Amino acid sequence: MSRFCSLMVRRWIGGATPPSLALPPALAYVTAMDSQPQQITPLAAGQVSLALPLGMILLLGSMWGLSFSFSKMAANGGVHAVAYTFWQGLAAGLIVAAICRLRRMRIPLGREWLRYYFTIGLTGIALPNVNLVAAIAHLPTGVMVLTIPFVPLITYGIAIGLKMERFTPLRFAGVLCGLAGVALIVLPKASLPDPAAAPWFLLALATPALYATTNVLAARLRPPDAKSLPLAAGMLLAAATLLTPVVFAMDVLYLPSLPVGEAEIGMLGQIAVSSVAYLIFFEVLRLAGPVFMSFTGYIVTLTGIAWGVVLFGESHSPWVWGAACLIFTGLALVNLRRNGGGQPSA
């Protein structure tokens, strides 16, 4: 079991978890790296052209990058972070559950499975997404999206602490590059449009920390021979279940209404993006496998910055661009094979 957990964490460190605010990051924890032996993909077998999965991950990354802008719209429109995350979990969970039913895949409800659903639903969906939506109301979208590459960086740090990964100077240098990127964002007064937003960026880093914690927990708690789709449906619906009493206790439930405003565009746009993204996500995994999927993370970050420029007219200081370069450098170093071969970790 410990060897399996170590292998899973190494693959997540390698970038196999596609980042996104629209719940796919947590979904990817249980999907991108199935416990079954990996098979030859249609792409590897030469049955499909590279252009097809490449075009699909470009579209998928752009959609997930857009999800940050939708979340900011909802936050600007007055939707509470708890209510927004509740609707994300419920809508996405029902979508994935419907896919399970179409594929005749049962969602197990035994004790071991429920423990997995609610643990991962809490640490991988409910807490990180509430935190992220709360923080994005105070930060530019392009700055917020820079927190997501920290997932493999933090996962590597946790794995070293738990002795699931060996210390490698070059990969640890990647972690230091990420920390240097954080310093460039929060320390110079001219870095952010409002210097008072710097604490919100530090708070936003709790989201990738929770995602990284979920990486490790998912590897340890995943039931044997579990299928990804039922796990995803269970954890998404568990997150919505956990947030239901909170939404009503805080009296923050938001119901879309007419005329359609910024809040409705953000919420409904997010649900629409999630629905289509799930279908593309699973198809790319089938065609090309999780290692190919790992490159989506870079696309999400770049397009997330671009969508912020297009939709909100954001512009970033040289400090932020320098931080982005450091963070990408850190991500590349952490993703190197432990033998220093320079290839993404598989």
Tokens of 102: 């179409």
Q: How far apart are the two ends of the chain, measured CA to CA in Å?
A: 19
Which residues lie closer than 8 Å to 66 by C-beta, 6 or more apart?
A: 269, 273, 303, 304, 307
344: β partners: 336
Give Cα separations from 70 to 9, 88, 180, 245 (angstroms). Answer: 30, 12, 29, 25
**How does DSSP classify residue 254?**
-
pLDDT score of 82? 92
Q: How many residues does the chain have?
A: 346
Q: State pTM to two decimals.
A: 0.76
Sign of CA dihedral 204, 26, 233, 231: negative
Can you give the pLDDT at residue 23?
41
- Please count the helices (runs of H) and the strands (runs of E) in the chain: 15, 0
Task: Count CB atoms within 10 A of the CB of residue 332.
Answer: 16
Q: What pLDDT score does 22 carry?
A: 36
| Residue carrying structure tokens 């969508």 | 307
> Would you say 171 and 334 are in contact if contact means Cβ atoms under 8 Å apart?
yes
Residue 154: both structure tokens together: 């933090």
The amino acid occupying position 188 is P
Nearest CA-CA partner of 75 in 129, 151, 149, 10: 129
Q: How many CB atoms lie within 10 A of CB 230?
A: 23
Task: State the pLDDT at residue 245.
Answer: 95
Closest CA to 132 of 66, 182, 203: 203
pLDDT at 253: 87
346 residues of the chain, pLDDT tens digit each: 445 455 444 444 444 443 333 344 444 444 444 444 456 778 778 888 888 888 988 998 888 889 889 989 988 888 898 998 898 889 888 988 888 898 888 999 988 899 999 998 898 889 988 998 889 888 888 888 888 878 777 877 777 777 767 778 888 888 888 889 888 888 887 788 888 888 898 898 898 888 878 877 877 788 877 777 788 888 889 999 999 999 999 998 888 777 888 888 888 888 788 767 767 876 777 787 766 766 777 788 888 889 999 988 888 889 889 988 988 888 788 776 543 443 333 3
Q: What pLDDT does 337 receive?
A: 52
Per DSSP, 165 falls in state S
pLDDT of residue 294: 65
